[in-house]
C-alpha cells in the first residue's frame, strides 16, 4: 500500500524503580499481598499521620514497595493515597520526603497513564514543584554543610525528578504545568550536578529528553544558558558508561531543541550530536559486559563474606523485579504495543556499580539508535501512520514565538541534507548494521549465569531490534549510492538473510520479527528499484512470509506480504518463473481472503496487482492459480468488509488507501478479463 513509512520513537514509559533495596525495611509486605482478605493500604496510609518521623518513613517506604504489585494500586487510590502522600513531599524529615516521593514515583510508574492523570488532577504538581525548588536551593545552601546531609538533599531531588519525568510523559496537563511553572530551570540545575552526582544528572537528562520532545511551547523558555548546559554535558570527557548515557541523553535533548538553536551554532551542534551518538555505538557491549562482570567478581572476592551475601541477596531481588516487569502485560501507546523499555538501574544497590555501568551502556546505545531513527523521520504528522492525533512542530511558531537571542527556526527540510551529511561523515549506516547483529554469545552466557545480570539479555536483544528499525529508517531515507552502491546493499541483504535464516527455524520473537522484516522490506525495495540481484531465494522469502503471517503484530504481516509483492514483481520480468509466481500468488490470495485485518487484506491485494501486472510468466501463473475467478469472488466480500468495519476501526488515511485499492481491484479484474480473451 505504498512506501514503507518510518516511525518516530516516542520516549519510553518509565520503570517502577523507587528506592534502593536497602532503604525499604524488610517487613512482610509480600505476605500481606498474598492474603486476599487483608489490604495493607489502610494501615500504611494511617501511619502517615504518626508523629514519629521513623514511622512515617517506614509507611512511605512500605507503600513504595507494595504498589509495585499493580493489583494493590486500586486499594490505595480508593483511600485517597495521592492526597495523603502529597503533604509528605514537604515533611520536616528529609528521609520522609525521599520515601514519600519514591512511593508516588512507583505509583505513577506502575499505575500507568490513568494513575498519572489522576495524580495531576489531585494537584500533586503543586507540592512536587515546591519540593524541587527547595531541593535546588539546598544544593548550594550554606546551612547544608555535611557531605552526607547534602547527598540526602540530592537523593530527594533524584526521586522528585523521576516522579516529574513519569508525570510529564503520561499527562499533557503535567507537561503544561511544567511549561508554565518554570520547572525547566530547576531540572537543568539538577543536570548541572553531573560532575559529582551522575545519578541525579541522568534522571534530569531523561526528564529533559522527554519534555523537550514535540513541545513547541517550551521552546520559548529556552535560552543560551540552557543550551550551554546541554553542550557542557555533551562535551564531558569522563569515560564511564553512566557519562556515556548522560551525553547520549544530552544529544537527544539538543536534537529536540534543534528548532531553537542560534543559527551560528546549528552546524556545530548537529555535528557534535551525531559524533556523540557515533562514539556510543562504537562501544562493543559484547566485550565490555563480560569485562564488567569479571570486575564485579574480583571486587566481591575482595569483600568480607557478610557484604558479599548482602549484595547477592539484593541482586536476586532485582532479578525478581526484572522478571515481573518482562512478564507484565504490555499496554498500548499511540496505537502501538508499548515495549518493556524499562531501565531498572535505580533498583540496583549502590554496591553493584558494574551492573549499573552495563545497564547504562545498553540504555545509551538503545537511546542513540532511537535518536537516529527520529533524525531520519519527517516531522510531518501525516507521515506517521501510528499517530492518532497530529502534533505541532517548530513550523507552527511565528516570529513572536522566538525568545531573545534565537534566530529563525531550522525546518526539518533544511536539516535533511545536513543530517544526511553528518550521518555519513560518522559512518552511522555501517555502525547501525554492526549493531543489528545478534548479541555476543559470551556476553549472553555471562548474563545468563548470574541472576542479577540476567535482565541484561533482553536489553541486548532490544538494542539489536532498535538497530534493525534504525536500518529500516536509513534505507527508507537514503539513496543506494550514499549507502555504498550495489555491493554494500548485497552485503546488507546477506546479513539480514543470515539473521533470519541462519538458525534452524525463523525466530518467533515479535519485537525482533517486526524490526527485521521492516528492514528487509526497505532493502528489497531499494534493490528492486536498482535491478540489483539479491541473495534471498523465493523459498526463503516464502518461509519468512509464513512465519510473519501468523504473527499478531499487524505491521509484521503487512511487511511480509509487501516483501512477497516486491519479490514477485521482480521475478515476473524474468524467464521460467511461472511456478514461483504461482506459489507467491497463492500465498497472497490466502492473506487477502483470510486475514482478519483490512489493512493486511489491502496490502495483499496491492501486492497481487504488482506481481501479475504484466509479462508472459505472470499471465501463465495467473491462469494456473485461477486468479481472475478468485478475485471476482473476493471483490464483493472486500467491499462489504470496508463498509461494515471501516469507519469504526480504521483511520481516515487508511480508509482512503483502502478505497483506492477497491477501485484498483475493479480495474485489475477488468485487465485480467482482457488477458483471458487474448
Tell me what the mean pLDDT of segment 551-560 comes to: 91
CA dist 191 and 154 (Å) reads 11
Name the average pLDDT for the chain.
82
Tell me what the mean pLDDT of segment 62-73 comes to: 92
pLDDT computed for residue 535 by the predictor: 74
Whether 3 shows a pLDDT value over 80: the answer reads: no
Task: Identify the band that residue 261 occupies on the pLDDT scale cut at 50, 70 and 90.
Answer: confident
Question: Among 91-100, 335-344, 630-639, which stretch is predicted with the lowest mean pLDDT?
Answer: 335-344
Alpha-helical (H) ranges within 377-477 are 412-425, 428-435, 441-449, 455-477
Q: Which long-range contacts (CB under 8 A, 24 or more apart) does 661-669 make?
A: 661/1, 661/602, 661/605, 661/606, 662/638, 664/605, 664/606, 664/609, 665/605, 665/609, 665/631, 665/634, 665/635, 665/638, 666/635, 668/608, 668/609, 668/631, 669/628, 669/631, 669/632, 669/635
Tell me what the mean pLDDT of segment 174-196 comes to: 93
pTM comes to 0.82
Cell 483502502 sits at which residue?
A: 658
Task: Identify the band that residue 572 occupies on the pLDDT scale cut at 50, 70 and 90.
Answer: very high
CA dist 45 and 100 (Å) reads 11
pLDDT computed for residue 540 by the predictor: 85
Task: Identify the band that residue 266 occupies on the pLDDT scale cut at 50, 70 and 90.
Answer: confident
Task: Identify the band that residue 286 occupies on the pLDDT scale cut at 50, 70 and 90.
Answer: very high
pLDDT computed for residue 325 by the predictor: 45
Q: Which DSSP string do the residues of 50-116 spell out, in sequence order?
A: -S-HHHHHHHHHHHHHHTTSGGGHHHHHHTTHHHHHGGGGG-S-HHHHHHHHHHHHHHHHHHHHHHH
Grid cell digits, residue 383: 507521515
- Cβ pair 3, 529 in contact under 8 A: no
CA dist 562 and 557 (Å) reads 9
Tell me what the mean pLDDT of segment 206-215 comes to: 94
Residue, of 519 and 321, whose pLDDT is higher: 519
Helices (H) and strands (E) in the chain, counts: 31, 2
Q: Which DSSP string do the residues of 555-616 spell out, in sequence order?
A: HHHHHHHHHHHHHHHHHTTSSS-HHHHHHHHHHHHHHHHH-S-HHHHHHHHHHHHHHTSS-H
Task: Identify the band that residue 501 occupies on the pLDDT scale cut at 50, 70 and 90.
Answer: confident
Q: In whole angstroms, how far apart are CA 411 and each of 32, 263, 381, 395, 397?
A: 56, 12, 14, 7, 11
Q: Going by DSSP bridges, is the β-strand pair 336-337/332-333 parallel, antiparallel, or unpaired? A: antiparallel
Whether 304 shows a pLDDT value over 80: the answer reads: no
Task: Identify the band that residue 139 occupies on the pLDDT scale cut at 50, 70 and 90.
Answer: confident
Whether 340 shows a pLDDT value over 70: the answer reads: no
CA dist 517 and 553 (Å) reads 12
Tell me what the mean pLDDT of segment 76-87 comes to: 94
Tell me the sheet residues that pair with 337: 332
Grid cell digits, residue 408: 529563525
CA dist 218 and 230 (Å) reads 15
Q: What percent of the chain has pLDDT over 90?
A: 61
pLDDT computed for residue 544 by the predictor: 82
Task: Identify the band that residue 330 occupies on the pLDDT scale cut at 50, 70 and 90.
Answer: very low
Task: Identify the band that residue 224 occupies on the pLDDT scale cut at 50, 70 and 90.
Answer: confident
CA dist 333 and 301 (Å) reads 45
Whether 374 shows a pLDDT value over 60: the answer reads: yes
Q: What is the pLDDT of residues 12-22, one digit of tens each?
A: 443 444 433 33
List b or e across 209-219, with b for residues whose CB sees 16 or more CB atoms inside 10 angstroms.
Answer: bbbbbbbbebb
Whether 672 shows a pLDDT value over 60: the answer reads: yes
For 608-622, the three-class secondary structure string (H helix, E strand, C coil) is HHHHCCCCHHHHHHH
Nearest to 207 by CA among 224, 191, 222: 191
CA dist 333 and 375 (Å) reads 21
Question: Among 436-450, 544-558, 611-625, which stretch is predicted with the lowest mean pLDDT?
Answer: 544-558
Q: What is the pLDDT of residues 597-646, one digit of tens each?
A: 999 999 999 999 999 998 999 999 999 999 999 999 999 999 999 999 88
- Cβ pair 234, 272 in contact under 8 A: yes
CA dist 450 and 514 (Å) reads 29
Whether 190 shows a pLDDT value over 90: the answer reads: yes
**Backbone phi and psi for residue 396, each to the nearest 5 degrees, phi listed first:** -75, -15
Nearest to 426 by CA among 623, 282, 545, 605: 282
Name every residue whose Cβ is closer than 8 Å to that of residue 176 and which is 6 or more positions away in sequence. 217
Q: Cα torsion for 477, 479, 485, 488, to the nearest 10°?
A: 0
Q: What percent of the chain has pLDDT over 70?
A: 80
Tell me what the mean pLDDT of segment 499-514 comes to: 86
Q: What is the pLDDT of residues 381-426, one digit of tens each?
A: 333 332 333 333 333 333 333 333 333 333 333 336 889 999 999 9
CA dist 367 and 168 (Å) reads 19
Q: Cα torsion for 76, 80, 82, 87, to the nearest 10°?
A: -120
Nearest to 476 by CA among 365, 378, 366: 378
Q: In whole angstroms, how far apart are CA 306 and each of 25, 303, 526?
A: 18, 8, 60
Name every residue whose Cβ is closer than 8 Å to that of residue 225 and which is 6 or more positions away in sequence. none
pLDDT computed for residue 416 by the predictor: 67
CA dist 274 and 255 (Å) reads 10
CA dist 357 and 676 (Å) reads 67
pLDDT computed for residue 1 by the predictor: 52
Q: What is the pLDDT of residues 99-138, one digit of tens each?
A: 999 999 999 999 999 999 999 999 999 999 999 999 998 8
Amino acid at each position: 500500500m505504498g512506501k514503507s513509512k518510518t516511525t518516530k520513537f516516542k520516549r519510553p514509559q518509565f520503570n517502577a524503580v523507587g528506592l534502593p533495596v536497602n532503604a525499604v525495611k524488610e517487613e512482610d509486605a509480600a505476605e500481606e499481598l498474598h492474603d486476599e482478605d487483608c489490604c495493607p493500604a489502610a494501615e500504611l496510609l494511617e501511619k502517615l499521620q504518626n508523629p514519629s518521623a521513623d514511622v512515617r518513613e517506614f509507611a512511605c517506604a512500605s507503600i513504595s514497595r507494595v504498589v509495585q504489585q499493580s493489583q494493590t494500586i486500586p486499594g490505595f487510590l480508593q483511600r485517597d493515597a495521592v492526597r495523603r502522600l502529597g503533604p509528605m513531599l514537604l515533611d520536616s524529615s528529609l528521609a520522609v520526603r525521599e520515601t514519600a516521593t519514591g512511593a508516588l514515583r512507583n505509583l505513577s510508574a506502575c499505575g500507568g497513564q490513568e494513575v498519572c492523570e489522576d495524580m495531576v488532577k489531585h494537584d500533586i504538581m503543586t507540592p512536587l514543584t515546591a519540593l524541587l525548588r527547595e531541593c535546588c536551593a539546598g544544593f548550594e545552601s550554606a546551612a547544608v554543610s555535611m557531605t552526607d546531609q547534602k547527598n540526602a538533599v540530592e537523593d530527594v531531588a533524584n526521586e522528585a525528578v523521576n516522579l516529574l519525568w513519569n508525570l510529564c510523559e503520561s499527562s499533557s496537563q503535567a507537561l503544561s504545568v511544567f511549561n508554565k511553572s518554570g520547572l525547566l530551570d530547576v531540572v537543568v540545575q539538577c543536570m548541572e550536578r553531573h560532575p559529582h552526582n551522575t545519578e541525579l544528572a541522568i534522571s534530569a537528562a531523561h526528564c529533559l529528553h522527554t519534555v523537550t520532545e514535540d513541545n513547541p511551547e517550551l521552546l520559548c523558555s529556552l535560552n543560551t544558558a540552557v543550551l550551554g548546559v546541554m553542550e557542557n554535558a555533551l562535551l564531558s570527557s569522563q569515560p564511564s558508561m553512566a557519562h556515556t548515557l548522560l551525553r547520549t541523553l544530552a544529544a537527544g535533548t539538543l536534537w529536540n531543541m534543534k528548532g531553537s538553536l542560534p543559527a551560528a551554532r546549528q552546524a556545530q551542534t548537529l555535528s557534535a550530536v551525531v559524533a556523540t551518538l557515533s562514539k556510543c555505538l562504537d562501544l562493543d557491549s559484547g566485550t565490555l559486559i563480560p569485562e564488567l562482570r569479571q570486575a564485579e567478581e574480583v571486587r566481591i572476592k575482595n569483600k568480607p563474606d557478610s557484604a558479599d551475601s548482602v549484595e547477592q541477596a539484593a541482586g536476586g531481588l532485582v532479578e525478581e523485579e526484572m522478571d515481573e516487569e518482562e512478564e507484565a502485560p504490555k499496554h498500548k501507546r499511540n496505537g502501538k504495543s508499548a515495549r518493556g523499555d524499562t531501565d531498572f538501574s535505580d533498583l540496583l544497590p549502590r554496591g553493584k556499580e558494574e551492573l549499573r555501568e552495563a545497564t547504562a551502556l545498553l540504555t545509551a546505545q538503545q537511546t542513540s539508535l532511537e535518536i537516529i531513527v527520529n533524525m531520519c523521520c519527517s516531522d510531518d504528522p501525516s507521515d506517521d501512520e501510528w499517530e492518532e492525533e497530529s502534533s505541532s512542530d517548530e513550523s507552527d511558531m511565528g516570529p513572536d514565538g522566538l525568545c531573545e537571542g534565537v534566530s529563525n527556526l531550522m525546518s526539518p527540510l533544511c536539516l535533511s541534507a545536513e543530517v544526511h551529511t553528518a550521518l555519513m561523515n560518522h559512518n552511522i549506516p555501517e555502525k547501525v548494521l554492526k549493531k543489528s547483529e545478534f548479541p555476543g554469545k559470551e556476553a549472553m552466557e555471562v548474563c545468563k549465569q548470574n541472576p542479577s545480570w540476567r535482565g541484561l539479555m533482553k536489553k541486548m536483544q532490544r538494542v539489536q531490534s532498535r538497530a534493525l528499525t534504525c536500518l529500516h529508517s536509513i534505507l527508507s531515507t537514503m539513496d543506494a549510492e550514499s549507502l555504498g552502491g550495489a555491493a554494500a546493499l548485497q552485503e546488507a541483504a546477506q546479513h539480514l538473510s543470515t539473521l533470519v535464516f541462519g538458525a534452524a527455524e525463523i525466530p518467533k520473537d515479535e519485537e525482533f520479527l517486526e524490526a527485521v522484516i521492516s528492514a528487509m522490506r526497505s532493502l528489497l525495495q531499494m534493490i528492486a528499484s536498482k535491478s540489483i540481484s539479491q541473495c534471498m531465494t523465493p523459498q526463503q522469502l516464502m518461509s519468512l512470509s509464513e512465519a510473519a503471517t501468523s504473527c499478531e503484530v499487524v505491521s509484521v504481516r503487512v511487511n511480509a506480504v509487501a516483501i512477497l509483492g516486491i519479490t514477485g514483481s521482480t521475478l515476473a520480468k524474468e524467464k521460467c518463473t511461472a511456478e514461483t509466481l504461482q506459489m507467491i500468488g497463492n500465498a497472497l490470495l490466502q492473506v487477502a481472503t483470510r486475514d482478519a485485518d483490512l489493512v493486511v487484506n489491502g496490502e495483499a491485494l496491492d501486492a497481487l496487482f504488482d506481481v501479475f501486472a504484466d509479462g508472459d510468466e505472470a499471465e501463465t501463473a495467473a491462469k494456473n492459480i485461477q486468479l481472475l475467478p478468485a478475485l471476482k469472488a473476493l471483490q464483493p466480500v472486500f467491499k462489504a468488509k470496508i463498509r461494515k468495519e471501516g469507519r469504526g476501526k480504521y483511520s481516515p488515511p487508511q480508509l482512503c488507501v483502502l478505497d483506492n485499492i477497491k477501485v484498483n481491484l475493479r480495474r485489475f479484474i477488468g485487465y485480467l478479463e482482457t488477458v483471458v480473451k487474448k
